[in-house]
């Protein structure tokens, strides 16, 4: 082996944009193509909007205008505008910004002076315009390089800042903006900033009742009692109990959606149990108190510390340099506000008690089943028959944890192809045996009694706590035929029935694999639809060889690695806020009904008409 040379020439100093472009994951988490809600292109949008929100929180600007057209994003606020002499510095010099002065931005989201610099460096085009006191300053960049520096000039438009950018397609490969992800982000901003109006592509986002509106719009099941809405200084909470399993949380810090929770979410979970125990003077089990809980928690803290640049998990222990701990702050608030509410609303208190007693009864009924199920899962894991794990869980890198993926496949041939093709660092495979059980209308007891469901739950590590989810991405990898579609529906029924929070928080995806391979001696094209097949045939010409893939097992591992690598195509499983899960499951997965038969017949007619 040749000896490596290590001297002064080995030491390099990267400028700000080179470092961001070389290590984008350090600044925006995973890159992705937009199919996941936490992909980098959404982090770029969020970083720009966060600055607008900070202005609003400080009392400047009640309107934000956003547009996304042909991958170009534009965000315009009506705040004070960036000081004109510092416009270029604020978007091109790391650790430059006003948020280090806690007097100017007491409870800001971003404090490290990186956000818009990362957007600038990772965009093929970036423009910033600031308007202050009848004057304006405009600067344009390409991949972080300043290409246009206009002198300060006169203007008559209202004060504020506008940022326009196009994510760099050499970094974000084949990216697309999923409208539902953008809309969810904007609604969260509206819920957390009552009085703020956001316009996105002409649509209005506005909330009068904050987290109360958030829960009303996002709950898709029947609830046990009206939503409890509590507000205090720097804290707001909304909560209720639903009839599904598990716990659902929407947690926020300084307006930032902390999708991975953190100290504030943990403090709330602990405090709600303690308050309930003290109110009823009974030592309930924590799991019984929180079973079926749906809650939104928002707090504001000074100089928040997050566990990553993407700010998805709060690490702060205190609400401020001289303030109480996050745990004490939330605990004291709930002890007073929730206790007072329950004393004043006896009917809600009675309904909560009934829910806890019901959960306690169900837990005790399942105790024996759970014990047996754990033993079976442990025995199965020793032989590694179903799960081929990845290494991401043994690595502390945030990027690897974000990329950790579990492919759920049907049969040995498909799982074999993926296993041989996968990235062993981040991709795991779980192999199903035959078709899963249709679990619609069944109790959660079946999850432990059914071997497939029990082992899948164990592999995901979600039996006790959703926060312990072992894979950030759960991908349903089934064949593109009738049986594959049926298996996909059965798996979706399982997740919707027992673990809806996995879907609501954007963890479930459908793997898209090519239906056709079109090739000649010089080129191979993989096609995901008939339209792509026809286009490929026309382009290649001269009677190319056409192969129709009937199942995943027919695709060789050498080919398969392209479809689960950097060019992977994932379709997110999304549930609209208007969807009522119980009704949707009943319609599609319940017993045959005249309504469903009519639905199938009508859609077959439509498909036939389109074919003609």
The CATH code of the domain that includes 194 is 3.30.565.10
Most confident of 4-13, 166-175, 243-252: 166-175
Domain annotation covers residue 141:
yes
Please, are residues 24 and 31 in contact by the beta-carbon 8 Å criterion?
Answer: yes
| C-alpha count within 13 angstroms, C-beta hemisphere, residue 342 | 20
Averaged confidence pLDDT in the chain:
85
Q: Which two tokens stand for residue 535?
A: 């286009």
Compute how many other C-beta atoms are within 10 angstroms of the C-beta atom of residue 416: 18
Reported residue count of the chain is 612
The DSSP element (H or E) to which 30 belongs, if any, is none
pLDDT at 608 over 50: no
Class of residue 258 by CB neighbours under 10 A (exposed 0-12, middle 13-18, buried 19+) = buried
Q: What are phi and psi of 535, to 5 degrees?
A: -60, -40
Q: Which two tokens stand for residue 119?
A: 């957007």
Domain annotation covers residue 372:
no
123 with 195, same domain: the answer is yes
pLDDT tens digits, 59-71 = 899 999 999 998 9
Domain annotation covers residue 5:
no
141 with 239, same domain: the answer is no
Domain annotation covers residue 154:
yes
Whole-number Å distance between alpha carbons of 60 and 219 = 32
pLDDT tens digits, 133-161 = 999 999 999 999 999 999 999 999 999 99
**% of residues, the chain, pLDDT over 70:** 85
pLDDT of residue 330: 93
| Domain with 539 in it | 516-548
Q: Which two tokens stand for residue 40?
A: 């980098």
Catalogue the long-range contacts made by 456-465 (C-beta closer than 8 Å, 24 or more residues apart): 456/386, 456/408, 456/430, 456/494, 457/377, 458/374, 458/377, 458/380, 458/381, 459/386, 459/387, 459/406, 459/428, 459/430, 460/406, 462/499, 462/502, 463/370, 464/287, 465/247
pLDDT at 576 over 80: no
Average pLDDT over every residue of 509-536: 90
Average pLDDT over every residue of 476-497: 87
224 with 168, same domain: the answer is no
pLDDT tens digits, 291-332 = 999 999 999 888 777 776 566 777 768 777 677 888 999 999
Residue 6 banded pLDDT, cuts 50, 70, 90: low
389 with 468, same domain: the answer is yes
pLDDT at 399 over 70: no
pLDDT tens digits, 233-242 = 999 999 999 9
The last residue of one of the domains, among 530, 548, 566, is 548
Domain annotation covers residue 2:
no
Please, are residues 174 and 567 in contact by the beta-carbon 8 Å criterion?
Answer: yes
253 with 221, same domain: the answer is yes
Domain annotation covers residue 28:
yes
The last residue of one of the domains, among 160, 189, 205, is 205
pLDDT at 511 over 80: yes
SS3 604: helix
Class of residue 30 by CB neighbours under 10 A (exposed 0-12, middle 13-18, buried 19+) = buried
pLDDT at 609 over 70: no
Domain annotation covers residue 368:
no
Compute how many other C-beta atoms are within 10 angstroms of the C-beta atom of residue 392: 23
248 with 125, same domain: the answer is no
If you search the block for the tokens 């939330």, which residue do you land on? 330
Residue 503 banded pLDDT, cuts 50, 70, 90: confident
Choice between 35 and 102, residue whose per-residue pLDDT is larger: 35
Whole-number Å distance between alpha carbons of 246 and 269 = 13
If you search the block for the tokens 């079109």, which residue do you land on? 518
pLDDT of residue 22: 86
531 with 406, same domain: the answer is no
The last residue of one of the domains, among 149, 176, 205, is 205
pLDDT of residue 262: 84
Choice between 104 and 13, residue whose per-residue pLDDT is larger: 13
Domain annotation covers residue 66:
yes
Alpha-helical segments (H) within 480-529: 482-498, 500-504
568 with 523, same domain: the answer is no
- How many domains, in total, are found in the chain? 5
449 with 310, same domain: the answer is no
Give the residue among 213, 345, 357 at the shortest CA–CA distance from 282: 357
**75-84, 172-181, 220-229, 242-251 — which is least confidently predicted?**
242-251
563 with 430, same domain: the answer is yes
Please, are residues 566 and 173 in contact by the beta-carbon 8 Å criterion?
Answer: yes
Most confident of 45-49, 103-107, 438-442: 45-49
pLDDT at 480 over 60: yes
CATH of the domain at 357: 3.30.230.10
275 with 357, same domain: the answer is yes
Please, are residues 353 and 227 in contact by the beta-carbon 8 Å criterion?
Answer: no
Please, are residues 39 and 32 in contact by the beta-carbon 8 Å criterion?
Answer: yes
SS3 246: coil
125 with 190, same domain: the answer is yes
Q: What are phi and psi of 353, to 5 degrees?
A: -60, -45
Residue 611 banded pLDDT, cuts 50, 70, 90: very low
Q: ∠ at Cα 146 (145, 147), nearest 5°?
A: 110
Choice between 483 and 337, residue whose per-residue pLDDT is larger: 337
Choice between 592 and 130, residue whose per-residue pLDDT is larger: 130
pLDDT of residue 109: 55
């Amino acid at each position: 082996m040749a000896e490596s040379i290590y001297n002064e020439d080995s030491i390099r100093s990267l400028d700000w944009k080179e470092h961001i472009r070389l290590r984008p994951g350090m600044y925006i988490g995973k890159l992705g193509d937009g199919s996941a809600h936490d992909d980098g292109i959404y982090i770029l949008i969020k970083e720009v909007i966060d600055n607008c929100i900070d202005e609003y929180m400080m009392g400047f600007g009640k309107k934000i205008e956003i547009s996304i057209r042909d991958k170009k994003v534009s965000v315009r606020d009506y705040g004070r505008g960036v000081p004109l002499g510092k416009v270029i510095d604020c978007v091109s010099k790391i650790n430059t910004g006003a948020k280090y002065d806690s007097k100017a931005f007491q409870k800001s989201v971003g404090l490290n002076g990186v956000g818009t610099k990362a957007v600038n460096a990772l965009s093929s085009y970036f423009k910033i315009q600031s308007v202050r006191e009848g004057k304006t300053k405009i600067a344009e960049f390409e991949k972080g390089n300043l290409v246009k520096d206009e002198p300060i000039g006169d203007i008559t438009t209202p004060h504020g800042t506008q940022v326009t950018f196009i994510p760099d397609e050499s970094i974000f490969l084949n990216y697309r903006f999923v409208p539902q992800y953008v809309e969810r982000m904007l609604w969260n901003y509206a819920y957390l900033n009552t009085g703020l109006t956001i316009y996105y592509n002409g649509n209005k986002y506005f909330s009068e009742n904050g987290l109360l509106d958030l829960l009303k719009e996002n709950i898709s099941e029947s609830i046990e009692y009206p939503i409890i809405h509590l507000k205090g200084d720097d804290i707001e909470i909304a909560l209720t109990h639903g009839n599904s399993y598990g716990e659902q949380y929407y947690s926020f810090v300084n307006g930032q959606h902390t999708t991975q929770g953190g100290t504030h979410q943990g403090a709330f979970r602990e405090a709600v149990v303690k308050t309930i125990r003290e109110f009823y003077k009974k030592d309930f089990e924590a799991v019984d108190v929180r079973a079926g809980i749906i809650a939104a928690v928002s707090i504001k803290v000074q100089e928040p510390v997050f566990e990553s640049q993407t700010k998805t998990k709060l690490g702060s222990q205190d609400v401020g340099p001289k303030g109480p701990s996050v745990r004490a702050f939330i605990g004291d608030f709930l002890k007073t506000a929730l206790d007072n509410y329950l004393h004043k609303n006896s009917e809600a208190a009675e309904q909560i008690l009934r829910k806890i007693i019901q959960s306690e009864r169900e837990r005790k009924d399942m105790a024996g089943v759970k014990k047996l199920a754990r033993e079976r899962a442990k025995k199965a894991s020793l032989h590694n028959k179903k799960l081929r794990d990845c290494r991401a869980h043994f690595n502390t890198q945030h990027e690897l944890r974000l990329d950790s993926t579990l492919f759920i496949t049907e049969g040995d041939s498909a799982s074999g192809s993926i296993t041989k093709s996968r990235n062993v660092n981040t991709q795991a495979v779980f192999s199903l045996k035959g078709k899963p059980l249709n679990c619609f209308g069944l109790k959660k007891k079946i999850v432990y009694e059914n071997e497939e469901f029990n082992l899948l739950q164990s592999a995901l590590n979600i039996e006790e706590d959703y926060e312990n989810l072992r894979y950030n991405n759960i991908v349903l990898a089934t064949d593109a035929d009738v049986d594959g579609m049926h298996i996909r529906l059965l798996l979706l029924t399982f997740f919707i029935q027992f673990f809806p929070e996995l879907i609501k928080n954007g963890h479930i995806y459908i793997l898209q694999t090519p239906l056709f391979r079109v090739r000649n001696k010089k080129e191979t094209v993989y096609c995901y639809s008939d339209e792509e097949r026809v286009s490929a045939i026309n382009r290649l010409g001269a009677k190319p060889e056409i192969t129709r893939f009937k199942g995943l097992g027919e695709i060789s591992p050498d080919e398969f690695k392209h479809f689960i690598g950097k060019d992977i195509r994932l379709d997110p499983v999304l549930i609209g806020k208007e969807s009522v899960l119980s009704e949707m499951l009943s319609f599609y997965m319940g017993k045959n009904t005249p309504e469903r038969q009519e639905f199938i017949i009508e859609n077959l007619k439509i498909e036939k008409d389109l074919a003609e």
